[in-house]
Structures are given as C-alpha cells and as structure tokens.
Amino acid sequence: MTQQGQKAKGGYGARQNARRRRKRVRAAIILAAAAALVVLGFMAVKWTNELREAQELEREVNAHQDTFQEGVSINGQILTGYSREEAQALLDSYYEASLNAEIVLTFGEKSWRFTPRDIGAAIDTEGQLETAWQYGRQGDMLERLTEIRALREEPVDLEVALSYDRSALEVLARSIKAEVDTEPVNATMQIVEVEKFTYTDSSVGYRLDVEALVEQLEEMIRSGESGEVALEPEVLEPEVSREALESSTLLLGECYTTLGDSSGSRISNVNLALSAFNFKSIDAGKTVSFNRVVGKRTEENGFKQAPEYAGTTIQTGIGGGTCQASTTLYGALIRAGLQILERYPHTMTVGYVPGSQDAAVSDDKDLRFKNTTESKIYIFAYVDMRRECAVCKIYGKPIDPNVTIDIESNVLQTDIGGGSIVYMDDVEGRRVWYKDDPPVLYKAGKPGMRSEAYRVYSDATTGEEIRREKLSTDYYQPESDTYLRGIHDR
C-alpha cells in the first residue's frame, strides 16, 4: 500500500474513535442526567412528605390555639375547647354555687344557717387559669407537641384553693357553742309534808368542742356542697338522778307505840320530844345523840309535869313521857338496820313495847346511833292523835335492798317479885281531887323480867332467815302498885 493510501486509512480510524468517544460521553451525560432526575424525584417526594408532615404537626399543635388543650381541667371542671373568657365564666358560675352553698347545723330544735361567703370565703381562679392555658404553648414545636400528646395520656386537673377567714369561722363556732353548752342539772328532792317527798327530774348537759366543729365546717366548705350537720356535743351526765333520789328515800324502818290512857301533859311531852326529830335529816356516817337533839327537859323548853319512872316507882316529873319518844325512835332505828352506839333499858318494863325493845333516857342515860347507810336518812316523828300513838319512820337508802329486818323479843324470866306500893300525886285531878279522898289505883304492879331482843335478817324474796344479831339482854325490876292521891283541900 502506498504511503498515501496508508494515510487515508489511518485518518478514517481516528474519526471512528472520536465518534465512539463522543457517544460514550453522551451516554454518560444521559445516564448522569437520568440519575439526577431520579434523585431529584426522590428528593421532591421526600420534601413533599416532610412538608405535609410539618403542616399536620403544625395543625395538631395549633388545634387549640384559641382554647384550652385537651386533658386540662380545674377542680374537675373540664376546660377543653373553652376560650379563656368562657373558662373564666364556667369557673365563676361553678364557684358561685360553692360560695353560696348553704350549710345548716342542727341541735335539737335549734338550727344555724350560713354560707362560705358569710365568713369571707373567696376563690381566685386567675392564677390556675393561666397555668392551665400555658399547657402546650411553651417551647419549640416538638416540645409543645410532646406536652399536648402527654396531656391526652395523663390529663391534668389543677386545684384552686378556697380561701376564707378562719377567725370568722371560729367566732361562728363559739357563738353556736354558747347556745349549745349547758350544765347538767341534778334531780332534787323536797319534803313538802310529813312522809311526803317530791322530786324534780335531772337533765344532761352538753359541751361542744369548738376546734372539732371548726374542722368539720372547713371540710364542708371545701367540698363546695350544701348540707346539714347534726351537732354531736359531749353529753354531761348529772351527778344526781331522780331514780337515785327515789331509791334513797325508801322506808327503812318504822315504829308505833300506843299512848293508851296517857294524860294530856304526858302526850304533850312525847310529842315535843318527837318533834325535835321530825323532818330531821342525818348525813351518812354521822352520829346522833337523843339528848343533844331534844335538849334539857325543862319547863323553859316547853316540857310539862307528867308521870315518869323513878327507880321502881312512878312519880311526877318534868318531861315525863320523853322515854316513850326515845323508845319509839329506837324501834324505828333497829328496824332500819342502823347501828346503835348507846342504849339503856328502863328500870321496869313498859307497856307500849315488848321487853328489850325500849330505850330509856335521862340526864345520865342517852340514846345514840350512827347512820351507817350510804346516804342521808330522813326521820319523821310525831304523835298521831287519831290513832292515839307515837310514830317514828325512817327513810333512806337500804343497806341491802334484798334483805328485810324484823325484831324478835324473847322473855327469859318473869317471876321476879319484890314490888311494893307507891303513891303519886294526881296533879291534873283526873282520878282523884281531894287529899282526903281514898287513893285510886293508877297502875298495878308487876313482877320483874329478864328478856332479850334480836335483829333478824331475812331474804326479801323467800323470807328465809339469813342471820340474827343480838341487840341486848335486859333485866327489869319488879314494879310496885301505884296509886294516885288528891292534892286539893276541900
């Protein structure tokens, strides 16, 4: 091949190579452009999605832009969807009812009414409304969204505290206490006449605890609801009930002694001595002396001349008959179960009580006893002219209500002789008037006697004897025949 031909052939190959290179470049450019388009497509989709998501998040965050977020409440009042003004109106209406809620306190027939507003109660909602409003409104978009979503899962209920004047509440409680508090009243007993008692009922008292009442009222005020409360003050029991008084004024013992044919002067002396004990009350544990209560038997004290024992004779003396008063009292005392500290028998037997149931008194002989019950005893002693007898009754609280007491006398000897004849002036002229009239038998003599007396305790239900207590064994001298003689000249 010629040189020229070789050159021509070589030029053609170079052109071919150049074309191939240009094709490869175009292909690479096309591929790069396609890849770029694909990338741009993906990026466009991503940007579109992100824009859409951002818009949705913004809509979620701003869903309650002008109202309270979902899940926010104040004292149970749900604020979701309310504007600030609407929420304020809602709370004002709600708390207006709470401030005007009527609380009624009752005790018996009394009642007291008040509202929280009466004691200066008020509710400030502005601070908590502001706190509630700020939920979901602070921080960046993500922080706000996080808080908004958290509220849906765990709602928030804010509390608004009610304020009030506690001192005003205490003043109210004390004023109620002044009306409720009362002291217990003891039952009373009054003796209006012989053997007649009248009673008044006892009543409980009340004491109201102010602090406890204030705390109870505070709880009701905080609840915001109307209501009625029955006050329950402390009950104060009286020290003395009517039942106790009635059980302490039961008949314990009584004694009746006949006055028989006693003269007016003697009856007067018996009545005067008994009257010293009539209506007399004796405290528990107290010792009583007959002679001290009755006093000296003198004319200055109202006693008169009347027949009385003097050794083994009967003579006229100031105060004759006083021993029948002491004997009648003694009979009631031993039947009442009281303790006898001192007692003496007469020198001779008396006709108005069995042997060993008498009690003689004189300047050197006394009748003393002790109130051994747990309460006062009340003595009624008088002469019953209709029944012609001396009477003594003792009332009080039984030592043992399940036991009855009887007195038993036993004559040990009756053939003790040795009596004589004695004369006594008939100062009243009832049997004989003139000195020269023959004496008139006033009282026939009788032999002496030995006797004993027992206090017999028996079961009040069955009557079975429980025990017996010897009171005394006594010796009575024989009594002389007594004649009345006149003291007037013809």
**Spatial separation of the C-alpha atoms in residues 347 and 326, rounded to whole Å:** 15
130: in domain? yes
Q: Given the DSSP bridges, would you call strands 72-74 and 156-158 parallel, antiparallel or unpaired?
A: parallel
pLDDT at 339 (0 to 100): 98
> Taking 80 as the threshold, does the pLDDT of residue 485 lie above it?
yes
User: What is the per-residue pLDDT across 175-198, written as a single tens digit (0 to 9) for each?
Assistant: 999 999 999 999 999 998 888 999
In whole angstroms, give the CA distance from residue 410 to residue 452.
Answer: 5
Taking CA atoms, 454 is separated from 310, 366, 468, in Å, by 27, 21, 6
Domain span at residue 277 reads: 248-485
Domain boundary among 185, 216, 246: 246
Give percent above pLDDT 70 in the chain: 92
Domain assignment of residue 305, yes or no: yes
Q: Are residues 197 and 315 in the same domain?
A: no
Tell whether 28 and 132 lie within a shared domain: no
In a domain, 2, yes or no: no
Q: Both 223 and 100 in a single domain?
A: yes
Q: What is the pLDDT of residue 124?
A: 80
- 21 vs 110, more confident: 110
Q: Which of 14-28, 259-273, 454-468 has the lowest mean pLDDT?
A: 14-28
Q: Are 263 and 115 found together in one domain?
A: no
Residue 458 lies in a domain: yes
Say how far apart CA 177 and CA 179 lie, in whole Å. Answer: 5
Count CB-CB contacts under 10 A for residue 188.
13
> Any bridge partners for residue 479, and if so which?
446
Mean pLDDT of 201-213: 95
Joined together, the tokens standing for residue 202 give 């006892």
368 vs 84: CA distance, rounded Å: 97
Task: State whether 388 and 282 are in the same domain.
Answer: yes
* End residue of a domain, out of 246, 266, 296: 246
State which H helix or E strand residue 128 sits in. Answer: helix 126-134
Separation CA 315–CA 327 (nearest Å): 19
**For position 141, what pLDDT does the model report?**
81
What pLDDT sits at residue 480? 81
Quote the CA–CA distance of 49 and 40 in Å, as a whole number.
14
Interval 365-394: pLDDT, tens: 999 999 999 999 999 999 999 999 999 999
Q: Going by C-beta distance under 8 Å and a sequence separation of 6 or more, which residues neighbour residue 89?
A: none
* Residue-level pLDDT at 315: 85
**What was the pLDDT predicted at 55?**
66
Distance of alpha carbon 388 from alpha carbon 243, whole angstroms:
35
Q: What is the mean pLDDT of the chain?
A: 89
With CA atoms as reference, report the closest residue to 272 among 351, 325, 194, 318.
325
Beta strands per DSSP E along 266-388? 280-282, 287-289, 305-310, 313-318, 339-342, 368-370, 377-384
The partner residues of 380 in beta bridges, in order of sequence, read 393
Verify that 311 and 443 share a domain, yes or no. yes
Q: Is the pLDDT of residue 39 over 80?
A: no
Are the C-beta atoms of residues 337 and 253 closer than 8 Å to each other?
yes
Residue 391 lies in a domain: yes
pLDDT tens digit sequence for 115-173? 988 888 888 888 888 899 989 888 888 888 888 889 889 999 998 877 888 888 899 99
pLDDT recorded at residue 10 = 57
Please indicate, yes or no, whether residues 390 and 405 belong to a single structural domain of this protein. yes
On whether residue 132 sits in a domain, the answer given is: yes
Provide CB contacts within 8 A for 225, sequence distance 6+. Answer: 98, 101
Residue 193 lies in a domain: yes
Q: Are residues 293 and 435 in the same domain?
A: yes
228 and 267 assigned to the same domain: no
Question: Is a pLDDT exceeding 70 seen at residue 302?
Answer: yes
My answer on whether 226 and 255 are in the same domain is no
Q: Tell me which of 111-115, 309-313, 369-373 is least confident.
A: 309-313
β-bridge partners, 411: 451
Beta partners for 422?
482
Provide the pLDDT for residue 7.
Answer: 52
Q: Pick from 246, 279, 298: which residue ends a domain?
A: 246
* Bridge partners, residue 106, by sequence: 111, 230
pLDDT for position 254: 98
Q: Which of 130, 394, 129 is nearest to 288 (CA)?
A: 394
pLDDT at 57 over 80: no
Do the domain assignments include residue 6?
Answer: no
Cβ neighbours around 164 below 10 Å, total: 20
* Averaged pLDDT for residues 238-265: 94
Residues 398 and 426 in one domain: yes
pTM, whole model, 2 decimals? 0.67
* pLDDT higher than threshold 90 for residue 312: no
Is pLDDT above 70 for 240? yes
Residues facing residue 342 across a β-bridge: 368
Question: By CB neighbour count within 10 A (0-12 exposed, 13-18 middle, 19+ buried), where does 181 fall?
Answer: middle
The 3-state secondary structure of 149-188 reads HHHHHCCEEECCCEECCHHHHHHHHHHHHHHHCECCECCE
Question: Strand pairing partners for 288?
Answer: 369
Instruction: Please tell me the predicted confidence (pLDDT) of residue 42.
Output: 65
Domains: count for the chain: 3
Of the ranges 15-29, 144-158, 356-370, the best mean pLDDT one = 356-370
Examine the pLDDT at 50 and tell me if it is beyond 70.
no
Average confidence (pLDDT) over 55-74: 82
Most confident among 65-74, 82-91, 277-286, 473-482 (mean pLDDT): 277-286
**Of 288, 249, 278, 283, nearest to 380 (Cα)?**
278
pLDDT at 53: 64
Instruction: Give the number of residues written for the chain.
Output: 490
pLDDT one-digit tens code per residue, 405-458: 999 999 999 888 766 788 888 888 888 999 999 999 988 888 899 999 999 999
The yes-or-no verdict on residue 46 having pLDDT over 90 is no
Q: Dihedral sign, CA of 12, 14, 18, 21?
A: positive
pLDDT per position as a tens digit, 230-239: 999 999 999 9
The larger pLDDT score, comparing residue 89 to residue 418, is at 89
Of the chain, the end-to-end C-alpha distance in Å amounts to 231
For 57, 76, 152, the CA distances from 70, given in Å and listed in that order, are: 16, 13, 6
Name residues whose C-beta falls within 8 Å of residue 325's C-beta, 6 or more positions apart in sequence: 269, 270, 273, 274, 294, 381, 390
d(C-alpha 274, C-alpha 289), whole Å = 13
Stretch among 12-16, 285-289, 316-320, 438-442 having the lowest mean pLDDT: 12-16
CA distance 290 to 366: 6
**Tokens matching residue 371:** 């109130």
The three-point CA angle 174-179-183 to 5° equals 105
Same domain as 347, residue 297: yes
